[in-house]
Amino acid sequence: MFVQKPLTCVEICAGAGGQALGLAMAGFVHVALVEYEADYCKTLKQNRPEWNVICADVRNFDGKPYEGVDLLAGGVPCPPFSIAGKQLGKDDERDLFPEALRLIKEIKPRAVMLENVRGFLDNGFSEYRQYILKSIEKLGYDTQIKLLNASDFGVPQLRPRVVIVGIRREENRNFTYPQGDSQIAPTVGNTLYDVMAENKWKGAKKWAQNANKIAPTLVGGSKKHGGPDLGPVRARNAWAELGVDGRGVANMAPEPDFEGMPRLTSRMLARIQGFPDTWTFGKKKTAACRMIGNAFPPPVAKAVGEKIKECLEDECIDCERAVSLSRKIV
């Protein structure tokens, strides 16, 4: 009886594990996760002690020992392309796309998955975007790029993310992105009612009924900017429409006689990002907010990972296809 071997994955810029968790749920086994920040590394190790977490600058990571893994994945830093930053693109010292290209060349994975913010699709980055896609193609991959909305995959949040997928040309596989469903995302109220009411807050039910939309985009910030709150004024105003005080993050759910707009706890934020309640982020509130806000929602990573897995496990072979997928923008 034939037994399919588990598909292996190396992940760079692993963060607090959103993408890694989703890919693991899709069936990938991580042989290495590279992350630079100590708090993030600690979170990865606490939640998955069996993972090989390498706490190092990806610029110093040697991919050659991992040559031939099934998937190289990563969420390279988004500030160079985020509208919340200066959008310096390739001129930003935090741009790690060149390192991703180096590692694709060294590791030669069967598939590549890289994610970033919607700003990566801005016209101002067109030339650089095409350079990245063409560079991956030159390394032997058919590449596609698509904007995916987290809410289409059950995440109660407005969070569009750009996902690049490359499949080695010699694999002769026809990758297609997951479709998703814009009607399946629960509201903030439905998502958080039980944790908002866990201290028997009398106003929890009414609050949940009024919090009848998905959340605005969670903001993680950086080491220099951002704290334990829900972002700048515009973001806080959007949260206020849902009955949430975005000026800070609470340590616990509201008490029984609480009046006014409640603040969210880090556990509530994690739910809105698509993390299970079992995934912990340590006791440092500011660090937890950054980790959660900067994460790639696990349900989205899982959906994309499942489609990649289908290809690599011989379920999407298309030997007669005549049209190249190279640099195709869906």
The closest alpha carbon to 70, from 299, 298, 314, belongs to 314
Give tens-digit pLDDT for 177-217: 999 998 889 999 999 999 999 999 999 999 999 999 999 99
The DSSP line for 202-253 is TTHHHHHHH--SPBPPP----SSS--SSS-SHHHHHHHHTTT--TTS-BSSP
- Identity of the amino acid at 48: R
Rounded distance, CA 244 to CA 259, Å? 12
User: From the candidates 13, 78, 289, 316, which is the catalytic residue?
Assistant: 78
Q: Look up the pTM and report it.
A: 0.89
pLDDT at 93 (0 to 100): 57
Strand partners, 145: 164, 329
**Is residue 41 annotated as a catalytic residue, yes or no?**
no
- Identity of the amino acid at 120: F
Which domains are seen in the chain, by residue range? 7-182+296-329 (3.40.50.150), 188-293 (no CATH)
Give tens-digit pLDDT for 222-260: 565 556 889 889 999 999 999 999 999 999 999 999 999
